[in-house]
Each structure stands twice: as C-alpha cells, then as structure tokens.
Structure 1
Amino acid sequence: MTSSADWIAGARPRTLPAAVAPVLAGTGVAAYVDQVALVDLQWWKALLALVVSLALQVGVNYANDYSDGIRGTDADRVGPMRLVGSGRATPRAVKTAAFAAFGVAALAGLVLAATTAWWLVAVGVVCVVAAWFYTGGDKPYGYLGLGEVMVFVFFGLVAVIGTTYVLTETWEWPALYAGVGVGALACAILVANNLRDIPTDTVAGKRTLAVRLSDERTRYLYAFLVLVAAAAVVAVASATTWWALLGLGFLARAAAPTRAVLSGATGPALIPVLAGTGASELAWSVLVAVPLLLA
C-alpha cells in the first residue's frame, strides 16, 4: 500500500519553489506598478494564483512519474524515488493523482478568470495540456528536447505575467523581465535534472536537450541560465526601483550548485544541485519582490 510519505515524495517537494517563485515575483511587480499598500493588495487573488501554480507543478510531477514509469524510463534511476518506476503505486493511481492536481488548478483558475477576464480560461487549458504532454501522449515534447522551452514559457513568462495581470489587469514590462529571470532558473532546475539523467535517458531513447547537447555543453547551458537570471534582476531594477538590485543576492545561493555543475559532478552528486537551484530561484523572487512590495 502506498504511504502518505510515498505520495509526498512522488510530488517532488524540491521542485515546488519553481511554483512559488513566479507568484512572488508577479505579486511584487503588481504592488509596485499599482502603488498599493500591502494591506490593500488583493491577496486572495495572489493566493489563488499560488494554488494554481503549485497544483500545476504537482500535477506535472505526477504526470511525469506516470508517463515515464509506464515507458520504463524510470526503471534504473539515479535520482529520487518514482512511484510507478519503483512499484510503490500503480500507474492508474498516479495518473488519477495527476489529474486531481490539474483539477485543483482548474478550479482555482476558474475563480480568477471569473473575477478578471474569461480569456484566462484558454490560458489555463493550454497550461494543463502542456503539463500532460510534457511526457504524456505518443510524442511527448519532453522526449524531443523541448522541455526547457516549455518550462521557461509556462513556469516563467506565463506564471509571472499572469500573476501580475490578475492583480492589475494591465500589461507590465517589469513582469516580462521578472518572468525571464524566474523562467531561466526554472529551466536550470530541469537542465540539472536532465544532465544527471543523460546516461539513462540515452538508453531509454529519451532525447532531452541535455542528451542532444552532450554533457559538457549542458553544463555551460546551466551557467548561462544563471547569468540570464542575474541580467533579469538588472532589467527589473531599471524598470522599477534600483532597490530591486538586492535580487542579485541570489547569486550567493546559486554559487554552490553552479560550481558543482561546472566542476563535473555526475550522478548522485547532482541531486543536491536540484535543491540548490530551486532555493536560488526562490531567493531570486524573494529578494526582487520584497523591495518592490515595500517601494
């Protein structure tokens, strides 16, 4: 019988900062551009956006577990436990959990759409479809080297800009810049994960971007994404307040995982890089959002 601890592990809690970060960043931008006091901010909308983001992340994780499990991709893993691959849960149960998480995201999203703009429903549908077909379906795009592109778009640009929009109902350039920074670090999490899995993914026929680029170039890509995130801090600060440059403090947290990647860490040695990169993304959003909220 699958324990609650197994389900929590299967939800991959180390990846959840990637869901929290864009909402924090988007909320900070919204507070700054609307010049509203913290007590006057529509926090209930921000919380609903957080529910959407977290539920989508958990849904993606379970869907990935299910799809990779039934394909046998997770049969010989180096990383954390997978529910289907390890046999601790049936494929049907994990698939049900994935769609339950998507359902939670859909309900929260419907409330936001009803109180903001109904066209957001279409955005939500695209997000869920993209989440499922990352590793699901006959031709999952995650197996074609497009995973990083979709992570950048949905867990960076869409999540940040979307959060700002539901709070302001306007387009804001700082939200785009923040989306680039958050998206770059979200991509870095996936790059580190796929770098670790190059040997097993190659055998399983999973042509991730890391497999296509090879080990060395994937490591350079990781470092490049960290630099993009740093440049995005400067862009946000130039469009808002220079206090946002405090966001560059994320580099202190990003130093260790970047050093591990560039020094040639492999296999289990790359597992802490995932948590470190997630923490770096969360630090980026907090250190950028707080000055914007207080300004």
Structure 2
Amino acid sequence: MKLKYWYKSVRIHTLPLSFSGVTLSFLISKSRGDVSFYTYFLCLITALLLQILANFSNNYGDFIKGVDNYYYSNKDPMIQHNTIIQSGFISLLEMRKAVKILSFLSFFSGILLILQSISINIKNIFIFLFFLIGILICIYSSIKYTVGKNPYGYIVGMGDLFVLIFFGLVSVMGSYFLYTHTFCMDILFLSFSVGFLNVSVLNINNMRDIENDCKNGKYTIAGVLGIKYAKQYHIFSVLISLFLGGYFIFLNYKGIFQWFCFVSIFPFFAKHIQKIIWISNPKDLNLELKKLILMTFFHSMSIGIGILY
C-alpha cells in the first residue's frame, strides 16, 4: 500500500523538467555529429535520479522545518505531495533512508556517465575530476535545498539561482560537453532559456505557497515581492526564456521549419501568462504549474527537433 505514497513523493509530473535539458542538448549534438546514445541514456538516468532525490529531500526538509503542516494540508486537499510524512504514510526514518539510497544511486549513475564519456588518462584527468566534483555538488545541492541548518531554498533568491544553474547550465551545457567534448557559446544562451523556464516553474510553486512559506520562515522571491510583483517576475522569466530560445534559432538557422516548431507553442505561453495575471486563488496555480512543466518540455523539444530536421 505504501507504494502509492512513494509514487506521490516522486512527484512524477515534475520529471519532464529533467528530461528536457539533457534531451535538448542531445538532439543538438546529434545534429552536429555522431553522439553515443548510451551517454544520453546515462545522462537522463542521472538527471532523473537527482530530481527524485531533490523531491524526497524537500519532503524531508520541509517537514523538519515545519513548513508541511496540517493547516497547509487541510487548506487545499489538491496539494498532497508535501503531506506524506506529516500524515504518517511514510515515516521520517524511511524518507531519510530513501534520501541515502537515492544519493548513492545518483553517484553511481554519475560515475558511469563520466566513465562512458571521458577516457581516464593524463590528458583528461582534470576534466574527469571536474565532473566528479560536479556530481558530488549536484547531490549535495539536491539535498541542501531544504535540509540542514541553512538550506538555500529558504534564502531569498538562492532557490531560483540554483534552479537556473542546475536545470539550465548543468543540464544543457554540462550534458552537451559530455556528448561532444566541446563548449559552444550558443549553447550557453540555450541553457539560460531552459533555465529561466524552470525558474518560472519554481516561482509558480512559491506563489502558490506564499502564505504558508512566510509563516514558517521560508523566504522566497515570491514571498518578498508579494503576489503582484511575483507575477511580473514570472512573466519576465518566461519572456526572456522565449527570447533566448529564439536567439539560439537565429544563430543556428537552417530553414523555416525551425521557426515553425518554435512559434507553434507560443499560443500556449500567451494563454499561460494571461491565466497567471488573472488568477486570484493560490490553489488555481496548481494547474498552471503542471501546464508550464509540459510547456517547458515542448519548448525544449521544439528547438531540438527543429534543428535536427
């Protein structure tokens, strides 16, 4: 019976965010030369494990800090993923063990990925060590978002910054290097494009939880700005993402099909922004959160498929 509660703790609807960045960079790498599918597979598995680790750690850390509480659970029965421990469906000890297991699996998968992509020799030893340290930092950051004495997710702006780095730069540019062994400036723009959409996803989550977070000492950009300006911040991050995605296509233009793929999802973003502006009930942000996760995925695929074909 506990399986369904572990399933909820995974937050399956968020996993397309991990899929988006590493798959986009794979498609672009594929358009520029031969790329190992096995490297992509290990990238994807590692990214998914790290995100599940972060989701489990968030459940654990928010419960310890008191952010998950019955007031929050009863206020909106639609929000169930943060109440698993509070409701007693999964114990604190079980969640702690799960965090340790996911940490090990993420490290093991990351090591396999590095070994698959980078040959260990004198020439590549520093690159190998760089990515090894990078894997350890990713694992630490996945846990530290809400766990520990000074979790960065509780500090204004740090959550957004780390999401931009790990779901943007690391996910897209880091995986691109593992595929191609090269760094390209245009991939940097694309990394920020994907990263800012992930920041937007986090911002919706923070706008939804703004009241409860502030009551429990979790200070996010949304909490500091207030709902009015948090919405403006949200719109800016979405628009800058679309601009950077378009700029990447401009730099790598091959044919009209690229622009057709890219702009085909614009109506969905326009509808999303309109919804965000007019929403007044925080629980209504749940649906927009799930929609934006899917739009982030389709945004990435529209660019990747456009340049591949």
With normalisation by structure 1, the TM-score equals: 0.93
Cross-structure match for 2:144: 133
1:269 and 2:269 matched: no
Match of 2:258 among 221, 226, 244: 244
Q: Which amino acid aligns with 2:275?
A: A
Contact conserved, 1:184 with 1:225, CA < 8 A, in 2? yes
Cα deviation code 1:41-77 (max 9, x no counterpart) = 3111011101111111111000000000122201024
Change (3 A) 1:46 1:70: same
State the Cα distance separating 1:195 from its structure 2 match: 0.1
1:17 and 2:16 matched: yes
Contact conserved, 1:156 with 1:184, CA < 8 A, in 2? yes
Cross-structure match for 1:7: 6
Q: Which amino acid aligns with 1:27?
A: F
State how far apart, in whole Å, the 1-side matches of 2:36 and 2:285 are: 39
Cross-structure match for 1:80: 80
Contact conserved, 1:193 with 1:274, CA < 8 A, in 2? yes
State the Cα distance separating 1:151 from its structure 2 match: 0.3
Contact conserved, 2:279 with 2:285, CA < 8 A, in 1? no
State how far apart, in whole Å, the 2-side matches of 1:189 and 1:214 are: 17
State how far apart, in whole Å, the 1-side matches of 2:112 and 2:101 are: 17
Matches within 5 A, 1:13-162: 13-32=12-31, 35-36=32-33, 40-75=34-69, 76-77=72-73, 78=76, 79-82=79-82, 83-115=84-116, 116=118, 117-118=127-128, 119-145=130-156, 146-162=158-174
State the Cα distance separating 1:240 from its structure 2 match: 1.5
State the Cα distance separating 1:267 from its structure 2 match: 2.2
Runs of 5+ unmatched residues, structure 2: 119-126
Q: Which amino acid aligns with 1:70?
A: I
Larger CA Rg, structure 1 vs 2: 2
3-state SS of the aligned residue for 1:135? coil
State how far apart, in whole Å, the 1-side matches of 2:60 and 2:28 are: 36
Contact conserved, 1:251 with 1:280, CA < 8 A, in 2? no
State the Cα distance separating 1:8 from its structure 2 match: 0.9
3-state SS of the aligned residue for 1:85? coil
1:208 and 2:220 matched: yes
3-state SS of the aligned residue for 1:84? coil
Between 1:238-247 and 1:59-68, the stretch displaced more is 238-247
Cross-structure match for 1:222: 234
State the Cα distance separating 1:266 from its structure 2 match: 2.4
Between 1:64-73 and 1:264-273, the stretch displaced more is 264-273
State how far apart, in whole Å, the 1-side matches of 2:3 and 2:206 are: 27
Contact conserved, 1:250 with 1:281, CA < 8 A, in 2? no
Change (3 A) 1:244 1:229: farther
Between 1:157-166 and 1:78-87, the stretch displaced more is 78-87
Contact conserved, 1:48 with 1:108, CA < 8 A, in 2? yes
State how far apart, in whole Å, the 1-side matches of 2:287 and 2:39 are: 33
Identity %: 23
Cα deviation code 1:248-278 (max 9, x no counterpart) = 3332332333222111332221110110110
3-state SS of the aligned residue for 2:147? coil
State the Cα distance separating 1:213 from its structure 2 match: 1.2
With normalisation by structure 2, the TM-score equals: 0.89
State the Cα distance separating 1:22 from its structure 2 match: 0.3
Tell me which stretches of 4 or more aligned residues in structure 1 moved more than 6 Å: none
State how far apart, in whole Å, the 2-side matches of 1:58 and 1:230 are: 27
Contact conserved, 1:31 with 1:292, CA < 8 A, in 2? no
Contact conserved, 2:11 with 2:81, CA < 8 A, in 1? no
